[in-house]
Amino acid sequence: MYSRPILWPLLCVLSGAASASPPCDAALHPHCGWEAGEAAPGGSTTHTSTGDQMLFSRPAANLPQERQLDFQLGNALFRRLWASAPASTQAADGLGPLYNARACFSCHHNDGRGRPPASPEESSNSLFLRLSIPPRSPEERAALASGRLAVIPEPTYGTQLQELAVQGQPSEGRLRVSYQEIAVTLADGTVIALRQPTYTIDQLGYGPLDEALLTSPRLAPQLPGLGLLEAIPEADLLARADPADADGDGISGRPNWVWSPARQAVALGRFGWKAGSSSVDEQSQAAFVNDIGISTPLQPQASGDCSLHQPICLAAPNGNSPQFEHLEAPRQVTDLVALYTRSLALPARPTADQPQVLAGKRLFHSAGCAACHTPHHRTGQQPAAPELSNQLIWPYTDLLLHDLGEGLADHRPEGEANGREWRTPPLWGIGRTEQVNGNTFYLHDGRARSLLEAILWHDGEAAAARAAVVAMPAAEREALLRFLGSL
Ligand code: HEC
Ligand code: HEC
């Protein structure tokens, strides 16, 4: 059973707010008032630390004492800079040969999100390109249909463009991003500039790319609360799916079914911008192999994302060692990293009950945002993680796929997600981006520089919600943004 978190009275004192009297009439609108528990978005895992950049780096407040040390060990591994093999410390070698970054932390800076390059000359790092091609043979079509493969890799370059390589190896190429400004005029005359990105790849290291190449830019997302998202019962998420839009509200919502290497079966996708991964552990192990070039129990290939057409890369020395299960990162390492990633907690929302925030929350609901950004869920029983079990959580996501229109489309299917669909990202913590990262870049490729820009990119199933925001008088728009900023 959920009990009101003990920290709530403390927060009221801290924020100096009177929580008892929400400013609008809850009888007129069910969502206009303050709701019990919403100031603690992660339920009892929520922490109350404030004021520094490490707001997303705290463990679940209720993490049992005996697992705190594992969390710290996981943290160290998350920050570890991997070195190329052979190195004097075998425990930390095996980088690459091809890679995007040397540590998890390089992309998930302060456990927050990445940023796109500031200029076409700067290398991207925490923004990379996924690669694939459309299926060509009956076998490839069958592999996609069965769910065993989510994409057909680009024949030479694999599933991801690695911009870096260890010494003596060519890197795959350079990703360049340029932007064109598009002006959007809101109903009250305010003009907002959006940036439309263009991605190009140059300095190709292994010959031409397939002419049918499909690409998808991905920015490293923020990480707090993932263990809680993993703990939402599958049936609750599926109950919200409406693939054929049977209720006629213009919003469908489809699950992505993806191959789970751990279960050796198709499973519900929850993680990644297209819900391409079904668990925190699988997503983390995929990051080890593709982003850093480190082999793991589920992804044992020592040469990462090297393909058969990159023989020099396949032949490079690797860090697989007998004392580490013939891997570069053995089970003990991936378990600690998964525990760390799963246990990162959300900060409390001290301003949740302020009148302008509550007014913004009402507008969030009336504009239709909550149709995809589902405010709350209750986690199920997690035998291995009692701290994550049975919590009332406020992630503002349904974890389902939605068509957000042509402007955001990548035209690159992944599993059952088509080229216009994205998974609704959680909005919890989003108001803390500036504090944690020192910058604000939103959406799957970081093109939006503000929350308002992110909203204005919504289209497709979210066209009506976007239109509602465009039509808002300035004061209402500010309230909506205040609400998002309070999350
Ligand atoms: C080169 C940059 C980069 C590195 C290094 C990196 N990540 Fe990521 N991470 C990303 C991107 C981009 C995504 C989104 C992937 C997608 O859409 O499929 C992501 C997604 C994730 C997610 C899912 C988050 C969500 O909300 O769905 C987890 C968990 C994660 N990474 C953990 C890790 C761990 C653990 C490591 C180190 C082993 C790591 N990452 C290294 C860029 C990176
Ligand atoms: C039809 C479903 C849907 C509706 C309705 C919707 N969203 Fe979204 N939202 C999404 C999806 C999917 C994305 C990810 C798109 C992308 O990254 O390209 C997203 C992204 C966002 C982001 C950026 C998140 C991040 O981590 O970068 C914000 C902020 C946001 N939405 C706010 C809103 C607000 C406010 C409304 C109402 C005005 C709204 N959304 C309505 C589905 C929806």
Q: How far is the CA of 284 from the centre of ligand 1 (A)?
A: 7
Nearest ligand to the C-alpha of residue 274?
A: 1
Nearest ligand to the C-alpha of residue 402?
A: 2
In 3D space, the residue among 430, 96, 78, 76 whose CA is nearest the CA of residue 284 turns out to be 78
Is 277 in contact with 266 (CB distance < 8 Å)? no
* pLDDT tens string 290-344: 999 999 999 888 888 899 999 888 888 877 878 888 888 999 999 999 999 999 9
Residues with CB under 6 A from ligand 2: 251, 273, 364, 367-369, 371-373, 402, 404, 408, 422, 424-425, 427, 430, 442-444, 451, 454-455, 458, 461-462, 465, 469, 484
CB-CB neighbours of 394 under 10 Å: 26
Ligand 1 lined by 104 (C-beta under 6 Å): yes
Among protein residues, the one whose CA lies closest to atom 6 of ligand 1: 104
Per-chain mean pLDDT for the chain: 91
In 3D space, the residue among 44, 33, 5 whose CA is nearest the CA of residue 379 turns out to be 44
What is the atom index within ligand 1 of the atom nearest the CA of 125?
1
Q: How far is the CA of 369 from the centre of ligand 1 (A)?
A: 26
pLDDT tens track, the chain, 487 positions: 333 444 433 333 333 333 334 444 555 455 558 899 999 999 999 999 987 899 999 999 999 999 999 999 999 999 999 988 877 777 778 898 999 999 999 999 999 999 999 888 888 789 999 999 999 999 999 999 999 999 999 999 999 999 999 998 999 999 999 999 999 999 999 999 999 999 999 999 999 999 999 999 999 999 999 999 999 999 999 999 999 989 898 999 999 999 999 999 999 999 999 999 999 999 999 999 999 999 999 988 888 889 999 988 888 887 787 888 888 899 999 999 999 999 999 999 999 999 999 999 999 999 999 999 999 999 999 999 999 999 999 999 999 999 999 999 999 999 999 999 999 999 999 999 999 999 999 999 999 999 999 999 999 999 999 999 999 999 999 999 999 999 9
Among protein residues, the one whose CA lies closest to atom 6 of ligand 2: 369
Maximum C-alpha span of the chain = 69
Is 424 in contact with 397 (CB distance < 8 Å)? yes
Q: How far is the CA of 205 from the centre of ligand 1 (A)?
A: 24
CA distance 394 to 225: 10
Beta bridge partners of 83: 93
Q: What pTM, to 2 d.p., does this model score?
A: 0.94
Among protein residues, the one whose CA lies closest to atom 33 of ligand 1: 284
Cα-based distances in Å from 6 to 3, 45, 51, 245, 303: 8, 11, 21, 41, 49
Q: How far is the CA of 396 from the centre of ligand 2 (A)?
A: 10
* pLDDT tens string 367-421: 999 999 999 999 999 999 999 999 999 999 999 999 999 999 999 999 999 999 9
- 3-state secondary structure string across the chain: CCCCCCHHHHHHHHHCCCCCCCCCCCCCCCCCCCCCCCCCCCHHHCECCCCCHHHHCCECCCCCHHHHHHHHHHHHHHHCCCECCCCCCHHHECCCCEECCCCHHHHCHHHCCCCCCCCCCCCCCCEEEEEEECCCCHHHHHHHHCCCCCCECECCCECECCCEECCCCCCCCEEEEEEEEEEEECCCCCEEEEEEEEEEEECCCCCCCCCCCEEEEEECCCCCCHHHHHCCCHHHHHHHCCCCCCCCCCCCCECCEEEECCCCEEEECCECCCCCECCHHHHHHHHHHHHHCCCCCCCCCCCCCCCCCCHHHHCCCCCCEHHHCCECCCHHHHHHHHHHHHHECCECCCCCCCHHHHHHHHHHHHCCHHHCCCCCEECCCCCCCHHHCCCEECCCCCCCEEECCCCCCCCCCECCECCCEEECCCCCCHHHHHHHHCCCCECCCCCECCHHHHHHCCCHHHHHHHHHHHHCCHHHHHHHHHHHHHC
Q: How far is the CA of 451 from the centre of ligand 2 (A)?
A: 10
Q: How far is the CA of 388 from the centre of ligand 2 (A)?
A: 25
